[in-house]
Amino acid sequence: MKIFITGATGFLGKAVVDALLDAGHELRALVRNKHARLPETVEKIEVAFDQEGRLREVLSGMDAIMHLAGKVSRRPEDSADMHWIHVEATRMLLDAARDVGVRRFVLASTSGTIAVTKEKGRPATEDDSPEFEVIGRWPYYTSKRLQEEEVLRRNAREEIDAVILNPSLLLGPGDERLSSTTDVLNILNRRIPAITDGTIAFVDVRDCAPAFVRSLTDAKRGRRYLLNGANMSVRSFMERVAYSGDVTPPTLKLKSKWALAGAKLMEGVYEAFDGVPPVDAVSVEMSGYHWACDATRAKNELGFTARDPQETIEATVQDLEKRGMFRRR
């Protein structure tokens, strides 16, 4: 198939590009500059989402669109940028796809639009949907949910044949921009000093890539698919990461509200003196929620399989160490 792909140089994008090429697909990638690092067989196209005529021109003749472009941030000040790339740019791409007749539209979203609760319960499935008041606490998940809703609206109007893939926290080697592995780095560098009572879900980026390939032909129209490798307590996750990096795991255990209050207080003190806070309050807040999810649908329909979670954690830690992001004590 001839596939137009966005976000090809990102953490997930690089893995998906390799998997698509291995499967024999032809790729045309949207890039911001011609020097973007991609395999030689990928056709690089410099085009912006708001270049309407040019965008329609480069989409002509494509069999499918794989939309992976996005911005991952927990900073409230980035909310406008995330809304633009996830919502406004997606609308422009959908308009262009409709106008030139490209039907298959695969969107990379996040499990956070489906699986996040304040109280612990069963792992979420694709039939679940968190209250908007919950995901509205974080601009990234707000914009991704609005993006999904726009794609599903276009699918309902039969403008496209949409598929949405929802990976949990992406880990593994190769996250050069620290778009997803910041949590691991924060643990290794002791920026999360206390263990909360939340639940984390994560998946190896290398395991997600084949599911994106299969989604082009095997996924059902209008479906969402959770891609998750493991659910575990925040305590277990932090201990596994710490031991993999030969650092001492946090010993302080706090209820989520007290951990968050302490983190915010410390942030305020440091910022008052123009210092860099030793803790990340947003990450502390998120660690008090429950993100567990069930990937059964993806396993049954897309052949998704996940490796041992400890292998993923160790590969992530080793990659961060290799790139000099932390040093073992």
Quick one: pLDDT at residue 280? 60
Q: What is the CATH number of the domain that holds 218?
A: 3.40.50.720
Q: Which residue has the higher pLDDT, 106 or 190?
A: 106
Q: What percent of the chain has pLDDT over 70?
A: 89
- The residue segments making up the domain with residue 75 are 2-171+202-229+291-306
Residue 293, by phi and psi: left (phi above 0), alpha (psi -120 to 50) or beta?
A: beta
**CA proximity to 215, closest of 310, 106, 113, 120:** 106
Neighbouring-strand partners of residue 223: 163
pLDDT tens figures, 242-266:
999 999 887 655 444 434 444 443 3
pLDDT at 302 over 70: yes
pLDDT at 66 over 80: yes
Tokens of 88: 């406004």
Q: Which residue has the higher pLDDT, 132 or 122?
A: 122
Judge whether 181 lies within some domain: no
- Average pLDDT, whole number, for the chain? 90
Tell me the backbone φ, ψ of residue 70, rounded to 5 degrees.
Answer: 180, 180
pLDDT at 113 over 80: yes
Q: What is the mean pLDDT of residues 123-136?
A: 91
Quick one: pLDDT at residue 260? 45
Judge whether 118 lies within some domain: yes
**Could you give the number of structural domains in the chain?**
1
Q: What is the mean pLDDT of residues 102-117?
A: 97
pLDDT at 278 over 70: no
Judge whether 267 lies within some domain: no
Q: What is the mean pLDDT of residues 82-86?
A: 97
Judge whether 17 lies within some domain: yes
Judge whether 250 lies within some domain: no
- DSSP-based three-state secondary structure for 307: coil
pTM for the model stands at 0.91
Query: pLDDT tier at 279 (50, 70, 90 boundaries)?
Result: low
Neighbouring-strand partners of residue 166: 226
Judge whether 47 lies within some domain: yes
Q: What is the mean pLDDT of residues 57-69?
A: 97
